[in-house]
Amino acid sequence: MMKEYGTLHELNGTYALRFERFFPYNPVDVFRGITNPGSFTEWYPFATGEMDLRQGGKIAFNDGEGTTYEGTITELEKPYVFGFREVDDLINISLREEDNGCRMIFTHTFTDDTWAVNTAAGWHRCLDVLGQIINRIPIKWDDNSAQLRKIYSDAFNRER
pLDDT digits (tens, 9 = 90+) for 54-96: 999 999 999 889 899 999 999 999 999 999 999 899 999 999 9
User: Which residues, in sequence order, are CB contacts of 21 under 8 Å at separation 6+?
Assistant: 4, 103, 104, 106, 127, 130, 131
- pLDDT, position 120: 97
pLDDT confidence of 4, banded at 50, 70, 90?
confident
Whether residue 160 has pLDDT greater than 80: no
User: Is this structure's pTM higher than 0.85?
Assistant: yes
CA dist 50 and 142 (Å) reads 26
- pLDDT, position 66: 87
Helix%, strand%, coil% for the chain, nearest 5: 30, 40, 30
Backbone angles phi, psi at 83, to 5 degrees: -135, 145
pLDDT confidence of 2, banded at 50, 70, 90?
very low
> Is the preceding peptide bond at 79 cis, omega within 30 degrees of 0?
yes
Domains of the chain (ranges; CATH) run 11-156 (3.30.530.20)
Backbone angles phi, psi at 13, to 5 degrees: 80, 5
Which residue type is seen at 43? W
CA dist 160 and 149 (Å) reads 7
CA dist 59 and 51 (Å) reads 4
Which residue type is seen at 96? R
- Express each pLDDT in 98-146 by its tens digit: 989 999 999 999 999 999 999 999 999 999 999 999 999 999 999 999 9
Whether residue 31 has pLDDT greater than 90: yes
Q: Of 85, 95, 98, which is closest to residue 33 (Cα–Cα)?
A: 95
Q: Of 111, 73, 113, 112, which is closest to residue 93 (Cα–Cα)?
A: 73
- pLDDT, position 158: 75
Q: Of 93, 84, 40, 89, which is closest to residue 58 (Cα–Cα)?
A: 84
- Express each pLDDT in 47-56 by its tens digit: 999 999 999 9
